[in-house]
Structure 1
């Protein structure tokens, strides 16, 4: 079979693996097509490193396998990109910051290694908001530079996993890995029209779904996790199954699902975002989904007492531990911070070094976080909910501000508010409470910008949540490719 370039670029992860396993598509041809796509779209600044030789060599090894061996690889020949704060053996892991720009780890993060062992091929490392401390992926052009949204290159792709999202949306790769501390897989997924997943973390023990200790440039061990991103929810389920060893998704039908609509997360939305989200709700209700309004009036107050103190206090020790464990070129957080390029990230690290929220940490971790977790769990139980549903972000992608990193935004002409707070509001509570969250495409605004819907599930309900996401996506559809 002869594959056109367009046909190869259109393949989802599941489709690409099936075509390569069956011998209908050569992995080397597929990888070469995607590498050429990456080079042609370099202006998006989605990638920091492209592994031309390594990716092609890995693809040829897949092609050389006998059919029965190839069929045993669940990700045979699948091309992926990996966020630049996740350790990859032999490839730069810079976290988008000057002090680490030449750092090359000796080993892969466990999540990366499991994908490679299953046949995946790493095309390269994805750009990101410097040190993952931001949601725009707008970096100073003197270093990593801003990542651009494939649906409108003058706008942000979201962050901090903006490069992974932009590469997937632009058809440079069908899937990849990001990380999520407060929304960093889900926000860029929403703004670029793909799917992004934050797996369960809980309190970090047996409840933690992905285990990558000292293998990711961190912010907070309590909140951080690696998360898969892909063009479809089914593709995320494929990667999640490989990383965790989970079996097939449960079968979930739309009719009879009880989905909670938390009032605080439906308030203050950009009109164009609310219009797309409400239209999606109407379609889901027509298919038999029961939408259950839930007040959750304490959600924002409890979450506000938890998130900042934990992230700002834990970053200092967690980053230091990563630097030492990985024999990085700098060994102290002060050395790392002294070379930060982006003013917004430098200001955050000033707070980290000064431990400005340290006095609030113990209460945040041991009092308010358990209260938040209990509050969220009771919401699911009391209303017999399968999931919560709300727009992933309050607004669609905003223009890139190269000078200030899009430091403020205005929603429908209202008074400007902090950009990070505006985009984090709806995603952050899942992160601070440790439950799983999934963003999938809801549709597009009249101006052609993607809008995402987030599904949050009870702790440990990851595979069922993904199955609900698959059912939603089958009804709502996926977005057309960007015209680039």
Structure 2
């Protein structure tokens, strides 16, 4: 019986849907296996709320629909965990903060409506950094999320629960949301694939946003690029296949940019995995185009961080008012955990919030940054730019603010934010893939690939070929085998 459960939990989302659609397995069988895995992985603390009976009822309804011969959605029977910053009617949407732990939105987020319309099942709400403000997923109200590879370490954040659920084999695909690295950092630390799509590609209505139409974007994380492409199809209608046909020669002639700026200050373990991955891609025929980035691109983190810090409090207030929550920002703030309260006070509230003049200047610089990225791609005729997603492997739970890298203390902003900022700052798609595991710690190292605005399908196709070339990485404890296509 345990073997059967593990076998089902190892399926990709695409394979599981195909099996349920054919009738090889029932949606109820599949949901039961995932719920059993969730129960066995409770130590991860990946979920804030999960109602097994509700999931199983939805799975039985999917089976009845198939038995009746009705049309089935492209996500037929697939349970999908959602970050608890995405509105759902059936589950409270806490945004990871104490004051909202019993908040029930009046309607599902637009993204959730589309998922359910295409046959998916909401598989609970996942844990996160409080109010999406940080990269740790250490939560004062709901407890810290643990990394499946080492329970003493963080999974990254703020979408840490969603990433831990995928890496831990609880679900093959989960929904995250990203303001400034909240998909890329967890994907890197948990050894999975994560796509922050082109800004606006997926509907953000009903998902908590710290900024007003500038940075925040819902996205997905999965164990396989092909599943990210399936998710993308739900919202874009593009069914173009990301498979590259024969793997032989599929990367030959692909021009991928690399730059010293993103390689500076790497932990030695991260650097070793990253450069070995680049060597393997070169052996497969990739043309690595080494070219320094223009000065505008080095400012991506400062631009994005300033915009977020200036707008964050207004974003929280906008969420409360827009969802008719009978709380003021001050009332919510007073119930926040000490760490988040200090963060908000020290960098997001006057007089410490960035000034209006600096904010306006960063908006102008953002326009220059977007133009510089396009010119860089065109000048060097590259299809993507690749770099280590973060400069270090996952730190220990409770280790916040600074990391030790090669004997020196480095700020989280530098180690976790510098590279991941390019995608949110410009709105271009960013795809993180597992590059391998560090030899010493055994922890995953992610490599991010970014492309130009709207080139998501092309980026996913490239990612599929890269994934095949680099091969699977070792699964975390408590899951089985290695990731297989």
Asked if TM exceeds 0.5, the reply is yes
TM-score, structure 1 as length reference: 0.93
* Cα contact 2:66–2:72 (8 A) shared by 1: no
The structure 2 residue matched to 1:335, chosen from 319, 331, 339, is 331
- SS of 2:416's equivalent in the other structure is helix
Structure 1 residue 432 corresponds to structure 2 residue 425? yes
Structure 1 residue 465 corresponds to structure 2 residue 459? yes
The structure 2 residue matched to 1:237, chosen from 229, 236, 253, is 229
* Aligned residue in 1 for 2:281: 284
* Aligned residue in 1 for 2:483: none
Task: Count residues in correspondence.
Answer: 469
The change in CA–CA distance for 1:53 and 1:275 in structure 2 (over 3 A counts) is same
Q: CA deviation at 1:417?
A: 2.1
* Cα contact 2:297–2:372 (8 A) shared by 1: no
* Aligned residue in 1 for 2:159: 161
Gaps of at least 5 residues in structure 1 are 202-207
* Cα contact 1:175–1:228 (8 A) shared by 2: yes
CA deviation profile, 1:424-445 (whole Å, cap 9, x unmatched): 1110121111111000111111
TM-score, structure 2 as length reference: 0.93
Matching of residues 80-479 of structure 1 within 5 Å = 80-140=80-140, 143-201=141-199, 208-213=200-205, 215-221=206-212, 222-249=214-241, 252=244, 253-299=250-296, 301-330=298-327, 332-344=328-340, 346-354=342-350, 356-359=353-356, 360-365=358-363, 367-401=364-398, 406-414=400-408, 416-446=409-439, 447-479=441-473
Alpha-carbon separation, structure 1, partners of 2:4 and 2:179: 39
The change in CA–CA distance for 1:217 and 1:114 in structure 2 (over 3 A counts) is same
CA deviation profile, 1:432-483 (whole Å, cap 9, x unmatched): 1111100011111112111111000011101111111011001112223211
Q: CA deviation at 1:243?
A: 2.3
Q: CA deviation at 1:378?
A: 0.7
Alpha-carbon separation, structure 2, partners of 1:121 and 1:184: 23
Pick which of 263-272 and 321-330 moved more.
321-330
Alpha-carbon separation, structure 1, partners of 2:63 and 2:365: 53
* Cα contact 1:219–1:311 (8 A) shared by 2: yes
Alpha-carbon separation, structure 2, partners of 1:459 and 1:262: 20
The change in CA–CA distance for 1:278 and 1:246 in structure 2 (over 3 A counts) is same
Alpha-carbon separation, structure 2, partners of 1:183 and 1:70: 40
Alpha-carbon separation, structure 1, partners of 2:12 and 2:338: 35
Q: CA deviation at 1:299?
A: 4.6
Alpha-carbon separation, structure 2, partners of 1:168 and 1:457: 25
- SS of 2:405's equivalent in the other structure is coil
The change in CA–CA distance for 1:18 and 1:473 in structure 2 (over 3 A counts) is same
CA deviation profile, 1:289-325 (whole Å, cap 9, x unmatched): 0000120151554324411221012222222122111
Pick which of 314-323 and 274-283 moved more.
314-323
Q: CA deviation at 1:344?
A: 4.1
The change in CA–CA distance for 1:66 and 1:167 in structure 2 (over 3 A counts) is closer
Q: CA RMSD in A?
A: 1.8
The change in CA–CA distance for 1:473 and 1:70 in structure 2 (over 3 A counts) is farther
CA deviation profile, 1:200-253 (whole Å, cap 9, x unmatched): 11xxxxxx212222x122211300000111111111111111122222235653
Alpha-carbon separation, structure 1, partners of 2:62 and 2:6: 22
The change in CA–CA distance for 1:407 and 1:232 in structure 2 (over 3 A counts) is same
Alpha-carbon separation, structure 2, partners of 1:313 and 1:61: 46
Alpha-carbon separation, structure 2, partners of 1:474 and 1:348: 43
After TM superposition, where is structure 1 displaced by more than 6 Å over at least 4 residues in a row? none
Q: CA deviation at 1:335?
A: 2.1
Alpha-carbon separation, structure 1, partners of 2:51 and 2:219: 22
* Cα contact 1:85–1:94 (8 A) shared by 2: yes
Q: CA deviation at 1:358?
A: 3.3
* Aligned residue in 2 for 1:205: none
* Cα contact 2:152–2:397 (8 A) shared by 1: yes
The change in CA–CA distance for 1:420 and 1:471 in structure 2 (over 3 A counts) is same
Pick which of 356-365 and 124-133 moved more.
356-365
Alpha-carbon separation, structure 2, partners of 1:14 and 1:232: 9
Q: CA deviation at 1:422?
A: 1.5
Matching of residues 50-69 of structure 1 within 5 Å = 50-66=50-66, 69=69
Alpha-carbon separation, structure 1, partners of 2:32 and 2:427: 39
* Cα contact 2:229–2:242 (8 A) shared by 1: no
